[in-house]
Structure 1
Amino acid sequence: MTRSRAILAATSIAAAAVLLVAGCDDDPPATPSAEPTATDVSPSASPSPSSSAVVVAPERPKKMDDDGPAGAEAAAVYFLELDDYIMKTGDTAEWEAMSGKACGFCDARLEQAQTIAKRGDRFEGGATRARALHTYEQDAVTGIWPVDVETREDPWTITDSNGEELASDKAVVAKSRVEVARRSSDWIVVGVINDQEN
């Protein structure tokens, strides 16, 4: 089984514009997307560590307090670097807080983390390092900042409680378009498109 970090569709600017004109206060919408399938997913799965090693969450960047392009970049990088943390710990609170309601990538990764926690599986490796490559101008209608981000992910393995390997993948480098927006004073991820390089 190959872990797909994202095979997702971009945000529909036209749809967002219609909702904003209609006075919708919800998160900016994204178009439907193809998502990885997780088996035995339970949205109510409680967080539980998948490894005995101490796992530390990435530090929230101070730049996320900025409501401009610097904040957008920091939010996009921070969100992607949370991925292996949620897989290893089942602690998805920050991930969920930053996930837009129509973000298919966000939902798919959340479901995978919940599946691992529910089954008592172990996620090892997969450390993710991200850096912003380019931030585009904010869309005047939707308020969305598109940010191109490069991620480097270490090899990873998922094993069950008996130590049997369930899935694994090699190290990958990917370029993603992360679309972020402000909701009140917080950043949310509206959508992610991932283009795996190797």
Structure 2
Amino acid sequence: MPAPTSRLLACATTIAVAVGLLAGCTGGSATADPTGRATSTGGQASPGPSASPTPSATVAAPQWTAAMDEVSVEGAQAVGQYFLELFPYVHATGDTSAWRALSHSECVFCADVARGAEDPPEGGYANGTVTVQAVQGVELDPGSVYSLNYTMEYASEGASTAERDTVLMIVVRESDHWLVRAVDLKAADGTGA
């Protein structure tokens, strides 16, 4: 019998990790947002007298695209990318409506990010940008469960370098709309985000 190819091994690994995420849905890191991770490595909190987020003219919400309406691996990947691109907007404005609309009720990571944006630390969060690249997507249950892998770079305003993470996300299709079921972030060097 021939040895399995690396593609089959990658798919098997993705499925095993996805099953673990669905079973535990721990949300990954203790600090679920990219700005929180920046704080743990040296602090990027922006100065300000109010702990309440205020709308920022420099951070715009990403736009929903027609690709996200497609029920396919590509559609799920577009939804996952949109969700990750909401990070800077959610933290800059405190507006979690789009974030919460896409968050599955059992997604711990999703809830942690929303709570952090709605009740920010003293001084708020630094504005930042996120760049997301889809690496792999697998349809685990046709038309309803997708395992997605991304690389993500988050750069806080004024930071000299960006943080690079790998992201494993489970996206599900329920009642004709998308929900993010679980997210696991790890620093690209494998040390944890």
Deviations 1:122-175 (A, max 9, x none): 3223211112111113235x9310010111111358xxxxxxxxxx99521111
Aligned to 1:138: 140
The 8 Å contact of residues 60 and 78 in structure 1, kept in 2 or not, is answered as yes
Alignment of 1:19-98 (within 5 A): 31-33=25-27, 35-36=30-31, 48-49=53-54, 51=56, 53-98=57-102
The 8 Å contact of residues 54 and 94 in structure 2, kept in 1 or not, is answered as yes
Aligned to 1:150: 151
Question: Structure 1 residue 67: deviation in Å?
Answer: 0.8
Aligned to 2:173: 182
The 8 Å contact of residues 178 and 191 in structure 1, kept in 2 or not, is answered as yes
> What is the CA–CA distance in structure 2 between the aligned matches of 1:125 and 1:196, rounded to whole Å?
20
Question: Structure 1 residue 59: deviation in Å?
Answer: 1.1
Aligned to 1:128: 130
How many equivalent pairs are there? 154
Larger helix percent: 2
**Percent sequence identity over matched residues?**
25
> What is the CA–CA distance in structure 2 between the aligned matches of 1:113 and 1:193, rounded to whole Å?
19
Question: Structure 1 residue 195: deviation in Å?
Answer: 1.6
User: Is 1:111 matched up with 2:115?
Assistant: yes
> What is the CA–CA distance in structure 1 between the aligned matches of 2:137 and 2:157, rounded to whole Å?
29
> What is the CA–CA distance in structure 1 between the aligned matches of 2:151 and 2:184, rounded to whole Å?
12
Question: Relative to 1, partners in 2 of residues 1:169 and 1:12: Cα closer, same or farther, differing over 3 Å?
Answer: farther
Tell me which amino acid in the other structure corresponds to 2:148. Answer: V
TM-score (norm 1): 0.66
Aligned to 1:173: 164
For the aligned residues, what is the CA RMSD?
Answer: 3.0
> What is the CA–CA distance in structure 1 between the aligned matches of 2:32 and 2:188, rounded to whole Å?
22
User: Is 1:195 matched up with 2:186?
Assistant: yes
Question: Relative to 1, partners in 2 of residues 1:138 and 1:12: Cα closer, same or farther, differing over 3 Å?
Answer: closer
The 8 Å contact of residues 59 and 88 in structure 2, kept in 1 or not, is answered as no
Question: Relative to 1, partners in 2 of residues 1:76 and 1:169: Cα closer, same or farther, differing over 3 Å?
Answer: farther
Deviations 1:54-81 (A, max 9, x none): 4310111221110111110101100000
Q: Which runs of 5 or more structure 2 residues have no equivalent in the other structure?
A: 1-16, 34-51
The 8 Å contact of residues 68 and 79 in structure 2, kept in 1 or not, is answered as yes
Question: Structure 1 residue 188: deviation in Å?
Answer: 0.5
Question: Relative to 1, partners in 2 of residues 1:127 and 1:183: Cα closer, same or farther, differing over 3 Å?
Answer: same
> What is the CA–CA distance in structure 2 between the aligned matches of 1:143 and 1:185, rounded to whole Å?
10
> What is the CA–CA distance in structure 2 between the aligned matches of 1:87 and 1:156, rounded to whole Å?
13
Q: Which runs of 5 or more structure 1 residues have no equivalent in the other structure?
A: 1-9, 17-28, 39-46, 158-167
Deviations 1:14-51 (A, max 9, x none): x97xxxxxxxxxxxx7534563389xxxxxxxx85154
Tell me which amino acid in the other structure corresponds to 1:153. Answer: Y
